[in-house]
Amino acid sequence: MRVAGLIRAAAFIFTLVAMWVFLRTYTSFSRKTIRLPRWLGMAPKEIRVPNTKCGLSKLCPDNFFAFKISSGAANVVGPSMCFEDEIIMSPVRNNVGRGLNIALVNGSTGHLLRKGSFDMYSGEPQLLLNFLAEIPDSTLVLVASYDDPGTKMNDKIRMVFTNLGSSYANQLGFRDSWVFLGAKDLKNKSPFEQFLKNTPETNKYEGWPELLELEGCVPRKVF
Ligand SMILES: *[C@@H]1O[C@H](CO)[C@@H](O)[C@H](O)[C@H]1NC(C)=O
């Protein structure tokens, strides 16, 4: 009786250990060690995180760039943009502002060219027009709204965004939420865009619609 009990206990413990070893081996297959993002300002340290750039839900194929863009939440939390695992604009980096936040990326190398925040409530729209007039060919254009992207919007600016592939720039208004990735020489509409109108009846926050998130893999321009 005693021996049978001991054997049963030993078998139980053996099963637990085998299961633990199996789970450890299995889960380490799907994980990979990478470095902490630079903006955290810590010494590089290896941590275990899922193996996707910008925390995307899927891996991007070769010759595609991973990106994730979030609009601001009401007038409280600023927007953020990640490109190829680098946070290029965010409240933590302290380089975003109310209005439209725009980053220009070289479509073949993925390198950041320029970025800027444009106050669309009380700012000077000509500053945004000047910025948009100097977009080089084959450039990817990432845009995130914060608080109010619409008050100082004008037809010239709408036209530039429409030519970059936007479907919603022509109706962008006061306190709408907007996230967009377009390109300088895009012939068609960009598939990367989300838009929510400021509608008091359905707004998530009192005076603003919900924040928007856009993520995906954008093809590298290969010459
Ligand atoms: C983008 O990168 C390509 C390849 O390095 C380069 O030839 C081109 O001049 C770059 N464009 C800009 C605007 O920097």
Domain boundaries, the chain: 2-41, 53-219
Per-residue pLDDT band at 18 (split at 50, 70, 90): confident
Identity of the amino acid at 222: V
**CB of 87 closer than 8 Å to CB of 103:** no
Average model confidence (pLDDT) across the chain:
86
Ligand 1 atom index nearest CA of 109: 2
CA–centroid distance, 24 to ligand 1, in Å, is: 45
CA–centroid distance, 66 to ligand 1, in Å, is: 19
Identify the pLDDT of residue 120.
Answer: 93
Structure confidence by residue, pLDDT tens digits, 77-106: 899 999 999 999 999 999 999 999 999 999
For residue 214, pLDDT over 60 is answered with: yes
Structure confidence by residue, pLDDT tens digits, 184-210: 988 899 999 999 988 888 888 777 888
Identify the pLDDT of residue 30.
Answer: 47
The span from the CA of 55 to the CA of 59, in Å, is: 9
What CA dihedral angle connects 186, 107, 172 and 188, to 10 degrees? 20
Q: What is the DSSP string of 4-69?
A: HHHHHHHHHHHHHHHHHHHHHHHHHHSEEEEEPPGGG-S---EEEEES-GGG-SSPPPTTEEEEEE
**CB of 142 closer than 8 Å to CB of 181:** yes
Q: Write the CA distances from 156 to 70, 145, 163, 170, 210, integer angstroms.
A: 25, 18, 11, 10, 27
CA–centroid distance, 160 to ligand 1, in Å, is: 21
